[in-house]
A and B are shown apart, each in its own frame.
Chain A
C-alpha cells in the first residue's frame, strides 16, 4: 500500500440504493472514500482510466469493488469479465451486490471469479445489517491484495 488514499468503487445504477449503501457503509465506520459510478461503461472507464476518468492514475486501483449486476449500457457480468480478465484489475476483490437471486447469475459470477456474492435483502433492516457486515469484513478485516499481486 502506498500513501495514496484508498477507495471503494460502488457500481450501482440506482442512486437511492447507492445513497443508502454509502450511508450504511459510512455509518459502519468505514472511512474509505467511496466512488460511485452508475453504469457499466463508466465503471470500465474508471477502472481503466479512460474517458471521463482518463486523468485517474492506473496505479491506484480501488481497494474493493461493489458490483450491481443489472446495469445500463454494459451489464454487471460483462464488467466483471473485463475486470477478471485483465492483470491490472484481476486481484481487486469484487463483491456482487445484487437483488438477483437467480442461480444462473450466481453461477456466472463465480465462474468469472467473483470474490463474494451478496443478495440485497428487501427488508431495509436486513439490508442495513448486511451492508454493515460487508463493510466490516471487506474493509476492516480483509487484507487487500498487495501491489505485487497486480504484476502479472
Chain B
C-alpha cells in the first residue's frame, strides 16, 4: 500500500499545506477561503476519479483483448465471459468519465471520438481471434490485423492521453490555486485552528474517498481472470491478486515487497536492474503498455511460458506498472501445433509447386490468393504478379458457359469441371481442363475457390493428330466399350457401312454384322465376336459385315485393346475383303486349272512316250522288211550282176541296220521313261563285275588295265544301274581303243554329300565346249567312221540317273581321257517313292 500511502501522504501534505495556508489566511477572506478550499478539494477528488476511470477503461480493454486471444487459442467460448464484463466495465468507465467531465466540453468532445475507437478496437480483437482460429490462418493477414489493431489502440491511447493530460493540467491549476491561498491563510492566524480543523475534516474526507477508490481497484484486480502484479519503478511488487498467488504458488505476503525477479528464471535476471527498466518500465512507458512473452518460474522452481501485458498505472504521485500475466503453455502448444501445421502446409504447398497443374486459390470475386509454380509455368505470371489479381481478368478466361453459371455450380455443387481457354502472359492461348472446388472453413463459411487447371493444349493436339490418323487410316476403325457400345468411328466406317457417324455412335457394334453373327451363345464359333465384348485380341477374324442397305460383304477384323482414361476400350480395324476373297477365288480357280493342266501335261507326257514307243515300234517292221527283202534280193542275184547293184543293196542293208539300232535304242530310252523303278539296296561293285564279264567277252583282243575301287551300296534300281555302268564302261572301252594299254578306272569320289561314282578313262576325251551336247539324244562328238554309236547311250544313262533323282556330268580334255561322274539321291530324297512301294511286288525287274 506504499504507493497509495505515499500518494495519500502527499495529498495529506498538500492538504496540511493548504490548511496552514488557510490558517495564515486573513479572516476577511475566511469565507472566500473556505469556499475556495472546498472547491479545490472537490476538483482534486474529481480529477482523481477521472484518472481512475481512465485506468479502468484501459484495463478493461486489455482484459477484453486477453479474453479474445484466449478464445482464439482454446476455442472455448467460456473464456469470453471476462470480455463481456470488460466491455461493460469499459462502457461504465466511459459513462462515468462522461458524467465527471460533463462540465468540460473539450473532454466531452474527446469522449465522442473515443466511443467509435473503442468499438473498433473490440471489433479488430474479434477479427484477430477469427484469423487465428481459421484453418487457412495466414500470418500475413494476421500481421495486417495486428497492425490495424495497434493503430486503433494507439488512437485510443492518444485520445485517453489527451484527456489525462487535460485532467492533470486542471489538477495542477487547481493545486496552484490552493497553494496561492496559503500566505493569506497564514496571515489569518486567528482563523487557523478553525481552518485546520476544517482542513483536517477535508483531509479525512479525502482519505476516505481514496480508500474507496483503492477498494474498487482491488475488487477489479481480484475479479480479473489474469494473474495481475503491480510493481513500482524499482521492480518491487506492490500488489498481486489471488490468481497470481495460484499461478506461482507463493503467498501474497511472500510476494509483496519482494523483487519482481523472483517470478522469472535466473537466466532472465542477468543485468536485471538496468534491463528491468527497459524491459518493464520501458515497455510500460509506452502510453498503452506492451505485451511481453517470457518464461515464468513458480515457487517450486518449475517454469512455464507466460505472456505479460504491461500497462503503466499512473496513480498521480508514483508511476506503477501493472502486469497481467497469463500462462501461455497451452497457447504455446497450440502455436507449436499451428507452426507444425503451417510447416506441413508449407510442405504441401511445395508439393503443390511440384505439380505440373496450375493450382490457384481465389476468392469468389476472383482475387487470387494462391498461385503455385505450375500456374507460373503454364501462364507465365509469377506468384508475386498473380497474387491479388482478379483471375478472370488476368487470364482472360473464356468459359464454355456464362461465368455466373460456373460460379453458381461451384456454390451449389461444391465443384465444377470443364475446359477453359486462358491467355498466357505472352498473349498465347492455352486450353486447360479445369476443376473448381469450393473452399469452406469448419463452420461452412465460404472462403474461396480452389482451381486446378491442366494444360490440355498438347493433349488436344495429340487428340487431333490421333483423329487425323484415324481418319486417314485405310481401314474402317471402330472403337467400342466393354458393353459393345461404339464410341468412335472413322470416315471409312461410314463409307463402308453406309451409315452416318451419328447413327453409329452410342449404338451397339452388333448392328454392323448380320443377324446370325449376333448370337451371344459362346458355342457359336463366330459369336465370340459379340459374346462378352472382349473379343480375341490381335487375332484376325473373318466374318461378314452388314451394310445399312442390308447387303452383306466379307470383312476381316483385327481387335486390339485401347487403354484410355475411361477404361479399356476395344478398337476394331475392319477391312473389306471382297476383293481379296475374289482374288483368292481366282487363285483357287487358277490352281485348279494348273492342277488340271498338270494332270493334262502328265497325261500328254505319257501319250508322248507312248507315241515315241509306238513310232519306234512300228518303224521296226518296215525296217526289217527293207532289210530282209534287200538281203533276199542280194542272195537271189545271179553272179553276173553288176557289182554296183550289189554295192547299192549293201548300203540299203547297212542303212536299215543303223536305223534299226537307233530305233531300238530309242525304244530302250522311251521304255526307261515309262518304267517304274524297283529300288533295292544294291552293291555297285557286284553290278560292275557283271557288266565287266559281258564286256570282256567281246574285247579279248584289247589291252585294258582295269582299276575298280570300293564302291558303295546304294538304294537304286539294280537293272537300270547296271545299264548305266554298261553304257559308261562300253563307252570307255570304245573311246580308249587307240590306247595301249587303255586305262579304265571306276571309283567313288571322297567327300561330303551323296556318294559320287566316277568312271575314268585315258581315251580320246572330248572338248569341254561340247560338254552340254554330251547327254543329248542322237548327239555325237565323234565321227561315225571313228567310233560307232547311235548317240543315245549317254542320253539313256542321264535318263536313268535323273530318274533316281541324281545328277551326271563329265570332265574331259581332248585326247587326254574323260571322266564321268554321277550320284543318286540318297534314300528317300529324290527316289521315286512309288517304285519303293512296289519293291515287293516287282521282284522281277524288267530288262
A127 to B653 alpha-carbon distance, docked (Å): 14
Are the C-beta atoms of A127 and B846 separated by less than 8 Å? no
List residues of B (625-663) whose CB comes within 8 Å of A's CBs: 625, 627-629, 631-632, 653, 656-657, 660-661, 663
Are the C-beta atoms of A99 and B617 separated by less than 8 Å? yes
Q: Considering only CB atoms, which chain A residue lies closest to B667 in the complex?
A: A101
Are the C-beta atoms of B667 and A127 separated by less than 8 Å? no
List residues of A (113-152) whose CB comes within 8 Å of B's CBs: 120-125, 127-128
**Chain A residue contacts of B846, Cβ below 8 A:** 103
Q: Considering only CB atoms, which chain A residue lies closest to B657 in the complex?
A: A123
A100 to B621 alpha-carbon distance, docked (Å): 11
Are the C-beta atoms of B628 and A20 separated by less than 8 Å? yes
B623, CB-defined interface residue at 8 Å:
yes
Closest 7 CB pairs of A and B: A124-B627, A122-B660, A124-B628, A122-B620, A16-B625, A20-B628, A103-B846
**Chain A residue contacts of B631, Cβ below 8 A:** 124-125, 128
Quote the shortest CB–CB distance from B498 to chain A (angstroms). 67
Quick one: which of B617, B621, B656, B663 contacts A14, CB cutoff 8 A? Answer: B621
Quick one: which of A17, A103, A123 contacts B621, CB cutoff 8 A? Answer: A17
A23, CB-defined interface residue at 8 Å:
yes
Bitwise interface map of A from 92 to 124 toward B, beta carbon under 8 Å scored 1, else 0 = 000000011101000000000000000011111
Quick one: which of A14, A100, A122, A128 contacts B623, CB cutoff 8 A? Answer: A122
Residue among A14, A123, A128 having the largest count of chain B Cβ atoms under 10 Å: A123
B664, CB-defined interface residue at 8 Å:
yes
A16 to B624 alpha-carbon distance, docked (Å): 10
Are the C-beta atoms of A123 and B625 separated by less than 8 Å? no
**Chain A residue contacts of B661, Cβ below 8 A:** 122
List residues of A (1-57) whose CB comes within 8 Å of B's CBs: 14, 16-17, 20, 23
Quick one: which of A99, A100, A101, A127 contacts B628, CB cutoff 8 A? Answer: A127
Are the C-beta atoms of B627 and A100 separated by less than 8 Å? no
**Chain A residue contacts of B627, Cβ below 8 A:** 123-125
Are the C-beta atoms of A124 and B624 separated by less than 8 Å? yes
A50 to B618 alpha-carbon distance, docked (Å): 32
**Chain B residue contacts of A120, Cβ below 8 A:** 620-621, 624
16 interchain pairs (CB within 8 A)? Answer: A16-B629, A17-B624, A20-B624, A20-B628, A99-B621, A120-B620, A120-B624, A122-B661, A122-B664, A124-B624, A124-B628, A124-B631, A124-B656, A125-B627, A127-B624, A128-B631
A93 to B846 alpha-carbon distance, docked (Å): 25
Question: A123-B657, A124-B627 provided; 11 other pairs, C-beta below 8 A?
Answer: A20-B624, A20-B628, A100-B617, A101-B667, A120-B620, A120-B624, A122-B623, A124-B624, A124-B653, A127-B624, A128-B628
Q: Considering only CB atoms, which chain B residue lies closest to A16 in the complex?
A: B625
Q: Which residues of A contact B (CB under 8 A)?
A: 14, 16-17, 20, 23, 99-101, 103, 120-125, 127-128
A103 to B847 alpha-carbon distance, docked (Å): 9
**Chain A residue contacts of B620, Cβ below 8 A:** 99, 120, 122
Are the C-beta atoms of A23 and B632 separated by less than 8 Å? yes
**Chain A residue contacts of B657, Cβ below 8 A:** 123
Quote the shortest CB–CB distance from B207 to chain A (angstroms). 169
**Chain B residue contacts of A20, Cβ below 8 A:** 624-625, 628-629, 632
A115 to B660 alpha-carbon distance, docked (Å): 28
Quote the shortest CB–CB distance from B834 to chain A (angstroms). 16
Quote the shortest CB–CB distance from A104 to chain B (angstroms). 10
List residues of B (605-623) whose CB comes within 8 Å of A's CBs: 617, 620-621, 623
Residue among B620, B623, B628, B657 having the largest count of chain A Cβ atoms under 10 Å: B628
Q: Considering only CB atoms, which chain B residue lies closest to A20 in the complex?
A: B628
**Chain B residue contacts of A99, Cβ below 8 A:** 617, 620-621
**Chain A residue contacts of B629, Cβ below 8 A:** 16, 20
Bitwise interface map of B from 823 to 847 toward A, beta carbon under 8 Å scored 1, else 0 = 0000000000000000000000010
Are the C-beta atoms of A123 and B624 separated by less than 8 Å? yes
A103 to B623 alpha-carbon distance, docked (Å): 23
Q: Considering only CB atoms, which chain B residue lies closest to A99 in the complex?
A: B620
Q: Considering only CB atoms, which chain B residue lies closest to A103 in the complex?
A: B846
A64 to B123 alpha-carbon distance, docked (Å): 157
**Chain B residue contacts of A100, Cβ below 8 A:** 617
A14 to B657 alpha-carbon distance, docked (Å): 20
**Chain B residue contacts of A122, Cβ below 8 A:** 620, 623-624, 660-661, 663-664
Quote the shortest CB–CB distance from A19 to chain B (angstroms). 9
A14 to B671 alpha-carbon distance, docked (Å): 24
Quote the shortest CB–CB distance from A68 to chain B (angstroms). 10
Quote the shortest CB–CB distance from B842 to chain A (angstroms). 10
Are the C-beta atoms of A123 and B617 separated by less than 8 Å? no
Quote the shortest CB–CB distance from A108 to chain B (angstroms). 14
A127 to B660 alpha-carbon distance, docked (Å): 12
A123 to B624 alpha-carbon distance, docked (Å): 6
Quote the shortest CB–CB distance from A75 to chain B (angstroms). 15
Q: Considering only CB atoms, which chain A residue lies closest to B846 in the complex?
A: A103
Bitwise interface map of B from 391 to 429 toward A, beta carbon under 8 Å scored 1, else 0 = 000000000000000000000000000000000000000
Quick one: which of A17, A23, A101 contacts B625, CB cutoff 8 A? Answer: A17
List residues of B (642-700) whose CB comes within 8 Å of A's CBs: 653, 656-657, 660-661, 663-664, 667, 671
Quote the shortest CB–CB distance from A109 to chain B (angstroms). 15
Quote the shortest CB–CB distance from B118 to chain A (angstroms). 142
**Chain A residue contacts of B671, Cβ below 8 A:** 101
Quote the shortest CB–CB distance from A43 to chain B (angstroms). 19
A122 to B664 alpha-carbon distance, docked (Å): 8
Q: Considering only CB atoms, which chain A residue lies closest to B674 in the complex?
A: A102
Quote the shortest CB–CB distance from A45 to chain B (angstroms). 25
**Chain B residue contacts of A123, Cβ below 8 A:** 624, 627, 657, 660
A132 to B295 alpha-carbon distance, docked (Å): 157
Q: Considering only CB atoms, which chain A residue lies closest to B616 in the complex?
A: A122
**Chain B residue contacts of A16, Cβ below 8 A:** 621, 625, 628-629
Q: Considering only CB atoms, which chain A residue lies closest to B619 in the complex?
A: A122
Quote the shortest CB–CB distance from A10 to chain B (angstroms). 15
A101 to B846 alpha-carbon distance, docked (Å): 10
**Chain B residue contacts of A127, Cβ below 8 A:** 624, 628
A17 to B629 alpha-carbon distance, docked (Å): 10
Bitwise interface map of B from 577 to 620 toward A, beta carbon under 8 Å scored 1, else 0 = 00000000000000000000000000000000000000001001
A121 to B627 alpha-carbon distance, docked (Å): 12
A14 to B663 alpha-carbon distance, docked (Å): 19
A125 to B653 alpha-carbon distance, docked (Å): 10
A101 to B661 alpha-carbon distance, docked (Å): 15
Q: Considering only CB atoms, which chain A residue lies closest to B622 in the complex?
A: A16
Q: Considering only CB atoms, which chain B residue lies closest to A121 in the complex?
A: B624
Q: Considering only CB atoms, which chain B residue lies closest to A24 in the complex?
A: B628
A85 to B671 alpha-carbon distance, docked (Å): 32
A99 to B656 alpha-carbon distance, docked (Å): 17
A99 to B846 alpha-carbon distance, docked (Å): 16
**Chain A residue contacts of B663, Cβ below 8 A:** 122
A33 to B629 alpha-carbon distance, docked (Å): 22
Quote the shortest CB–CB distance from B336 to chain A (angstroms). 119
A14 to B625 alpha-carbon distance, docked (Å): 10
**Chain B residue contacts of A17, Cβ below 8 A:** 621, 624-625
Quote the shortest CB–CB distance from B423 to chain A (angstroms). 102
Quote the shortest CB–CB distance from B752 to chain A (angstroms). 39
Q: Considering only CB atoms, which chain B residue lies closest to A107 in the complex?
A: B844
A124 to B623 alpha-carbon distance, docked (Å): 8
Residue among A120, A122, A125 having the largest count of chain B Cβ atoms under 10 Å: A122
Q: Considering only CB atoms, which chain A residue lies closest to B631 in the complex?
A: A124
Quote the shortest CB–CB distance from B635 to chain A (angstroms). 10
A100 to B610 alpha-carbon distance, docked (Å): 13
**Chain B residue contacts of A128, Cβ below 8 A:** 628, 631
Q: Considering only CB atoms, which chain A residue lies closest to B671 in the complex?
A: A101
Quote the shortest CB–CB distance from B632 to chain A (angstroms). 7
A103 to B667 alpha-carbon distance, docked (Å): 13
Residue among A101, A123, A124 having the largest count of chain B Cβ atoms under 10 Å: A124
A124 to B436 alpha-carbon distance, docked (Å): 120
**Chain B residue contacts of A101, Cβ below 8 A:** 667, 671
A103 to B671 alpha-carbon distance, docked (Å): 10
List residues of B (513-559) whose CB comes within 8 Å of A's CBs: none
Quote the shortest CB–CB distance from B196 to chain A (angstroms). 184
